[in-house]
Amino acid sequence: MTAPFEQWTVLPHGPITHIEPNLLTVTGALEMPLTEFERRMTVVRLANGRLVVFNAIALDDAEMRTIEDFGRLAFLIVPNDHHRLDAKIWKDRYPDMKVVAPAGARGKVEEIVPVDTCTPVFEDSHVHWLTVGGTKEHEAALLVEGDAGTTLVLNDLIGNLPHGNGIGGWFLRAMDFAGDSPHIPKPVLYALVDDKAALRKQLLEWADIDSLKRIVVAHGRIIEHEPRAVLRGLADTLH
């Protein structure tokens, strides 16, 4: 695994994309053995203009200015133990940001950067911090309510990488990170999930959100086709 960066390091990435007026995202490429692994940063603008950055990725200066113009950088969410790569360099660049991590991941995150809180207060009734049930308090998520519907922002819990070609594609399929449909990758299930019943309950609770419009995942395509049915299907795999 790549060691957390000490200096601002920009890896290949795509353009910044607006999902909703107060929600933007960008995907980057992380070098792994035999292949590249897609990762995603999501930025939420709160009602008071402050920004919540979920799974930070370093970007070029011009793109960072786009984010700075979007709002005031306030919360830096490190969503689990394994997503610490850019945490220190973001905190160094924006020292006023509050670092947030789920309680179960706090110790590992604090090996890289001090954590300010495991229970952030956003002062926005439409943006909700969650620690995902059944994950030993190691996995964070956000629920973002908008005029057009609700967005669920997840980290490693659900993967939605497409099948790739060549040896790299074979590697991702063999590791169960890529597939034909959204799924809970086996490495995630083994490493993060300690209570399948609790996770199943969590997935079904999200599936009951009538306004759910999309699921944004850290690795793979945004899930916009019948996201509630996707969650129910995943819950059924956890019997």
- CATH number for the domain spanning 26: value is 3.60.15.10
Q: Do residues 220 and 161 make contact, with C-beta atoms less than 8 angstroms apart?
A: yes
pLDDT at residue number 94: 98
Tokens at residue 123, please? Answer: 């002062």
6 part of a folded domain: no
Cα–Cα distance measured from residue 18 to residue 214, given in angstroms and rounded to the nearest whole number:
14
Q: What is the reported pLDDT for 36? A: 67
Q: Find tokens 């190691």 and name the residue.
A: 138
Alpha carbon distance 74, 131 (integer Å): 19
Between 180 and 182, the more confident residue is 182
List of residues 6+ apart from 197 with CB closer than 8 A: 134, 238
Q: Dmax over Cα atoms in the chain, in whole Å?
A: 48
81/83 Cα distance (integer angstroms)? 6
Instruction: Extract the tokens encoding 138.
Output: 């190691």
What mean pLDDT comes out for the span 84-104? 97
Q: Please report whether residue 148 resides in a domain.
A: yes
The count of domains in the chain is 1
Per-residue confidence (pLDDT) for residue 179, from 0 to 100:
62
CB 91 within 8 A of CB 14: no
Written as six digits, the tokens of 170 are: 């074979």
Find the range with the poorest average confidence among 29-33, 82-86, 123-127, 185-189: 29-33
CB 122 within 8 A of CB 44: no
**Residue 182 and residue 158 in contact, taking contact as beta carbons nearer than 8 Å:** yes
pLDDT in tens, 230-239: 999 999 989 7
In Å, how far from its chain's centre is CA 120? Answer: 16
pLDDT band at 35 (very low <50, low <70, confident <90, very high): low
Q: Is residue 211 situated within a structural domain?
A: yes
* 32 in a structural domain: yes
Q: How many CB atoms lie within 10 A of CB 13?
A: 20
Average pLDDT over residues 74-80: 97
For residue 173, CA distances in Å to 120, 145, 166, 184, 216 come to 36, 33, 11, 13, 21
High-pLDDT (> 70) share of the chain, %: 88
Residue 50 lies in domain? 17-236
Could you give the CA distance from residue 215 to residue 116 in angstroms, rounded to a whole number? 27
pTM exceeds 0.85, yes or no: yes
Q: Residue 170 has what pLDDT?
A: 44
pLDDT band at 6 (very low <50, low <70, confident <90, very high): very high
What pLDDT is recorded for position 30? Answer: 73
Nearest to 56 by CA among 28, 31, 90: 90
Computed over every residue of the chain, the mean pLDDT equals 90
pLDDT in tens, 108-126: 999 999 999 999 999 999 9
Q: pLDDT category, 33, cuts 50, 70, 90?
A: low
